[in-house]
Amino acid sequence: MRQSGSKSGIPRLFQQIPVLILLILLTGCAHDVGVRQVALAERFEDMDRSALNSDSPSERTLLFLRQRDLIGAWTDGPVETLERIDRMLDRLPDRDTLFALTELCYIRANREPDLSAAASKYFLSCALYASTYLFDDNFGPPPSAFHPHSRQACEFYNRSLAEGLRYVRDRSGLRKAYPVIRGEVRVEEHYSELVWQLREFEAFHMAYEYEVKGLENHHQAYGIGLPLIAVRTPPADGTGRKEERFMPQIRQSYAATVVLRFRDSLHDRGDVPFVYRARAELYDPLKTREIRFGERTAPLETDLTTPLAYMMESTPPARGITGLLDTNSWRQQQGLHMLQPYERDKIPVVFIHGLMSSPITWLPMFNNLMGDPVLRERCQFWFFMYPTGNPILYSASILRESLKQIRHTFDPDGHDPAFSRMVLVGHSMGGLLSRLMVSESGDRFWRYISEKPPEDFDLTEDQRILVNRVFFFKPLPFISRVIFISAPHRGSAWADRRIGRIGASLVRLPFTLIKNSVGLLASMGQTPLQQSVTKMGKIPTGIDGLSPNSYFMQATAGLRISPEIPCHSIIGNRDAADTPGGTDGIVPYASSHLDDAVSEIIVRSGHSAQKHPLAILEVRRILADHLNTPVNEPFITSERSHHEPE
């Protein structure tokens, strides 16, 4: 007889055991799900992890692999798994698959031997998938620009392109076809918007391969593409092209960005292996900030600072002390210099260095101004180099003739309105030269030579040209703004001190200047300048002209800047900022201050205020305001300098 409540003689309790075991197991699983409080830094590190900063995939790619049960396959056979995932695109094209392929190819490439053909294959595959993920509309809605994976895809593309270029440069040389997963890429077209022809460049270096030194701020923009340093040495015999006339005869380097544009879609491939056509495109970041991919635009990845630092590294610097003491040594270098070829519709901004200095002193300011995309798009920056030991009026005449010459070369008919909005930025003695470009001399300087007009003297042709250029001038009509930095408008007592007198005594002036000046003075008899020359035993130098008691400063005392030209003052004070008074160690506030300046700021700085970040910021502000002022009518002139060709 069976017991009540049992089946087949099995107690009811034992009949419930499988159910109890199941309940226990389910309860255990439930207890495994929950949360654990972690530090924010730890959580953020997990969220940010990717193949860009570790040897593991991102959580997004791991999710992709887990959902398709591919974790084990990826671990045991990564090459076969990549081809398997690539085939998924044929059945179900979507961006999640593309991103997984992008990241996994990057990981695989880094696990191959460096600079091997296998590594190159997976790096190029990574770039192909990344580009498709970002720009191919056949794979679903476009990714959001705010999604971190969009930026990561850009990084995978750029870094893979860099590794591919390393391989081409160091191992394979240029070829037309390069293997990728289940196909190959053929580079069938090339495009360049650089001014110079590609054959004129001796080398292209990746900016990623260099670390900048000596410049505090590194200006780069993030986007698509590989930033390059394009290196060019000007031809020794010259080419006669006007673009070359004002370019320094040094090893030049330019910023550029290369983009590899894939012209065929993965969506359209049929039988494999498939051939993807591509075009290599070289962009000038001074002209282009973004490029189009179909209906969308993408910012260009750029690096402006590294090419500048590279050029300085490979160029022996001009020593300012040499330009002070041995003026003849700078004769071939003096004049205006452009680091980029002239561009119409860009406002020229001309930097003029001070005593015992050179254009290199402007590098921190130039680097930071170029970092402003609006300024570099609408301005072009030039540098005036001159031997600072020469008399100030003589140096000013060289600057004036150089500005006229460059006007005649690039805009002889005055049809470029931007040229007529030129801005001068002068530091120290360079400020005095700038002031003479926007002032009218009358006969105030000549009166220190003679009470008689030059026509009353029997001058040689060279002497007549020297007199007209040095002592008689009017404002240059294409200059529309001046910025003075630590400018000694009323001189500096430093020039009268022992160190100044010793420096002035060591200056060697150009032979031609001495010859013409001595002959000129000899023909005029006793004049204030002749008496000064007799007393000093030499022609006044640039240092002599800085003395508050010099004839130059006395003649300049009442010199008025053209009222149509706004001027700005940036003044250094060693002890306090925003406090009138004091000194920068060389020039006192009373000498730098101008009542007519439309703006004035005082930075806590020594005499090299042009390097101070607040001075640079002020120049940036002034130039930005200048861009927004009304454009004047084009300047039309038939005036030619004595050095200009007929």
Task: Note the pLDDT tens digit of each residue in 243-262.
Answer: 778 887 788 899 999 999 99
Last residue of a domain, one of 272, 306, 340: 306
Query: Looking at the structure, do residues 487 and 339 belong to the same domain, yes or no?
Result: yes
**DSSP letter at 4?**
T
Residue 401 domain flag: yes
Query: Looking at the structure, do residues 481 and 563 belong to the same domain, yes or no?
Result: yes
Residue 137 domain flag: yes
Last residue of a domain, one of 306, 328, 357: 306
**pLDDT score at 244:** 78
Residue 20 domain flag: no
Q: Kindly report the average pLDDT of the chain as a whole number.
A: 84
**pLDDT score at 278:** 94
Q: Confidence band (pLDDT; 50, 70, 90) for 78?
A: very high
- Dihedral of CA atoms 595, 600, 603, 605 in degrees, nearest 10, equals -50
Do the beta carbons of residue 231 and residue 203 sit within 8 Å?
yes
pLDDT, tens digit (0-9, with 9 covering 90-100), for 24-67: 555 555 567 888 888 888 887 888 888 889 889 999 999 999 99
Count H helices and E strands in the chain, helices first: 23, 17
What ranges in 561-605 are assigned the alpha helix state H? Answer: 589-592
- Owner of token pair 């900030």: 289
| CA atoms of 344 and 635, how far apart (whole Å) | 15
| CA atoms of 172 and 431, how far apart (whole Å) | 54
Is the per-residue pLDDT at 460 higher than 80?
A: yes
The rounded Cα 541 to chain-centroid distance in angstroms is 36
Query: Looking at the structure, do residues 290 and 405 belong to the same domain, yes or no?
Result: no
Strand pairing report for 479-485 and 422-427: parallel
Query: Looking at the structure, do residues 356 and 277 belong to the same domain, yes or no?
Result: no
| CA atoms of 263 and 238, how far apart (whole Å) | 40
**pLDDT score at 14:** 53
Cis omega (within 30 of 0) for bond into 273: yes
Do the beta carbons of residue 169 and residue 190 sit within 8 Å?
no
Q: Which residue has the higher pLDDT, 323 or 483?
A: 483
Nearest to 255 by CA among 200, 195, 315: 195
| CA atoms of 306 and 253, how far apart (whole Å) | 10
The length of the chain, given as a count of residues: 646
CB atoms under 10 Å from CB of 80, counted, come to 11
Do the beta carbons of residue 573 and residue 460 sit within 8 Å?
no
Query: Looking at the structure, do residues 279 and 398 belong to the same domain, yes or no?
Result: no
pLDDT, tens digit (0-9, with 9 covering 90-100), for 79-107: 999 999 999 988 888 899 999 999 999 99
Residue 572 belongs to domain spanning? 317-627
Do the beta carbons of residue 542 and residue 390 sit within 8 Å?
yes
Query: Looking at the structure, do residues 292 and 251 belong to the same domain, yes or no?
Result: yes
Is the per-residue pLDDT at 560 higher than 60?
A: yes
- Dihedral of CA atoms 294, 297, 302, 304 in degrees, nearest 10, equals 120
CATH of the domain at 451: 3.40.50.1820
Query: Looking at the structure, do residues 337 and 271 belong to the same domain, yes or no?
Result: no
Token pair recorded at residue 509:
């002036």
Query: Looking at the structure, do residues 234 and 343 belong to the same domain, yes or no?
Result: no
Last residue of a domain, one of 306, 332, 352: 306
**pLDDT score at 641:** 31
Task: Specify the 3-state DSSP secondary structure of 617.
Answer: helix
C-alpha distances in angstroms, 137 versus 126, 127, 141, 565?
18, 17, 7, 54
Q: What is the mean pLDDT of residues 463-484?
A: 93
Give me the sign of the Cα torsion angle 302, 104, 183, 98: negative
Residue 276 domain flag: yes
Task: Specify the 3-state DSSP secondary structure of 190.
Answer: strand
CB atoms under 10 Å from CB of 628, counted, come to 6
Residue 573 domain flag: yes
Is the per-residue pLDDT at 198 higher than 70?
A: yes
What single-letter amino acid sits at 542?
A: G
Query: Looking at the structure, do residues 301 and 321 belong to the same domain, yes or no?
Result: no
Total domain count for the chain? 2
Q: Confidence band (pLDDT; 50, 70, 90) for 164?
A: very high
Q: Confidence band (pLDDT; 50, 70, 90) for 636?
A: very low
Query: Looking at the structure, do residues 436 and 484 belong to the same domain, yes or no?
Result: yes
Query: Looking at the structure, do residues 397 and 506 belong to the same domain, yes or no?
Result: yes
What is the 3-state composition of the chain as percent helix, strand, coil, each rounded to the nearest 5?
Answer: 45, 15, 40
pLDDT, tens digit (0-9, with 9 covering 90-100), for 436-455: 999 999 999 888 777 888 88
Residue 599 domain flag: yes
Q: 569: which strand partners?
A: 484, 600
Nearest to 517 by CA among 444, 556, 452, 460: 460
Query: Looking at the structure, do residues 324 and 266 belong to the same domain, yes or no?
Result: no
Residue 646 domain flag: no
Residue 37 domain flag: no
**pLDDT score at 644:** 30
pLDDT, tens digit (0-9, with 9 covering 90-100), for 261-316: 999 888 877 666 788 999 999 999 999 999 999 888 999 999 999 999 999 887 76
